Amino acid sequence: MDKEKIKLFVFADNMKDHRLQRFKEECDKRDMELKPINIYKAIVLNDKILDENGERIDVEKNSIIWALSNLTTGHYIAKILNHKGIKIWPDSGAVNFADKFFTNSFFSEIGIPTPRTVLVNSYHLDRIAEAVGGFPCVMKKNVSTVGKFVEIVNNEEEAKRFIKETFKKAQENILPMNRIRFLLQEFIEESKGTDYRVLCIDGEVVGAIKRSAVEGFKSNVSLGGVASKFEVDEKLEKYAKKIMEKGNLFYAGIDFMKKGDDYLAIEVNTSAQFKGFEAATGINVAGKIIDELVEKRVNS
C-alpha cells in the first residue's frame, strides 16, 4: 500500500484540542492529509455518517481513523466503520475503559493491584463505604475526564451532596445517552496529590511522568498539576504491558498511585491527553502515534 495515499481522519469534540493541532503539525511534516470531523456535529443515519453540512463522509479503506473524543459518544461511529471493514482507533471495545468501575474490575480480574472500589447501588452509603475501609474515601462519577466529578468525601452527607451536585451539573449539558453511576474508592493518604501516568503505544511503554498537585489532591496537568519525567521501573512496566495486552489496547495513558512499595492501577485513558507529557519528556507522542498507525495500515 502506498503511504502517500493514506489520509488521517480525526473525530474530535473540540476543534481547538491541542492533540488535534499536534496531529496537524506531524501530518504536515509527512505531507499527509488530515481531515478533522466534529463528532458532536456529525449525524449518524442508519449506516451512514454525515458531516455538519449533511454531506456523507466517505472514508477510504486505506485511511486512518482516530477518535480524540471519548468513544462513549462515538462508539456507534466506530461500529459502523468497523462493519464496513474500516479500522478506527481507539476501537469500539475501548469504550468499556471510559467507565471507571469497569476499569477497576478489569484490573482485579487480571491480577493488577488496584484500590478497593465499590459501586454505589443505594443510598446506604455508610454501609457501602465500609467495603473500602470507610470514610474518608474518594467518590467518582463512573464516566468523567480531566479530574472532573472526583472528590474526597468524609461522610455519608458529603457523599449524598456529591451525587446531587453531579446530577445538577450534568443536566446543564447532558447527552441523551449519558448514564450516570457512582463509585467509592479507598482513600490512600500517602498518595494524596501524586500519581504516575504511563503512556503506551502498541503494547510498548513510551515513557512516564509523575504528576503532582500544587494544591488539593488532583494532580491532573489540566488542573494545574506539575508534570516531571519519571523512569519506569520493571514492576511498573510489567503492569502497564499486561493491561495493554489483556485490554487489547493500541494507545493508552494508564494512571497509577503508590501504596508502600507497590503501584496501584487507577484508570485507563484510551484518548489520553499528551501536552504535559510531551513537554515533560520531550517525546513526540503525536508523531509516534501516526507512524505506528501508518505502519499498521501499510502492512495490513
The full set of domain ranges for the chain reads 3-94, 116-187, 190-287
Cell of 284: 513526540
Cβ neighbors of 237 (< 8 A, separation 6 or more) are: 198, 205
Q: What's the confidence (pLDDT) of residue 48?
A: 81
State phi, psi for 223 to the nearest 5 degrees. Answer: -105, 15
CA separation for the pair 139, 154 (Å, rounded): 10
CA separation for the pair 282, 172 (Å, rounded): 38
pTM, 2 dp: 0.90
Cell of 293: 498507525
Q: Are 52 and 38 in contact (CB under 8 A)?
A: yes
69 closest CA partner among 77, 61, 80: 77
SS3 54: coil
Q: What's the confidence (pLDDT) of residue 147?
A: 66
206 closest CA partner among 147, 287, 97: 287
Place of cell 503501584: 263
Q: Are 66 and 76 in contact (CB under 8 A)?
A: no
In the predicted model, residues of the chain with pLDDT beneath 70 are: 1-4, 69-74, 146-147, 172-179, 216-219, 222-223, 300
Cell of 28: 504536515
190-287 matches 3-94 in CATH topology: no
Q: Which CATH architecture has domain 3-94?
A: 3-Layer(aba) Sandwich (3.40)
State phi, psi for 71 to the nearest 5 degrees. Answer: -75, 5
Pick the CATH number of 190-287 from 3.30.470.20, 3.30.70.100, 3.40.50.2030, 3.40.50.2300: 3.30.470.20
Q: Are 139 and 125 in contact (CB under 8 A)?
A: no
Q: What's the confidence (pLDDT) of residue 148?
A: 80
CA separation for the pair 137, 199 (Å, rounded): 27
- Count of other CB atoms within 10 angstroms of residue 70: 21
SS3 83: helix
CATH assignment, 116-187:
3.30.1490.20
State phi, psi for 188 to the nearest 5 degrees. Answer: -110, 100
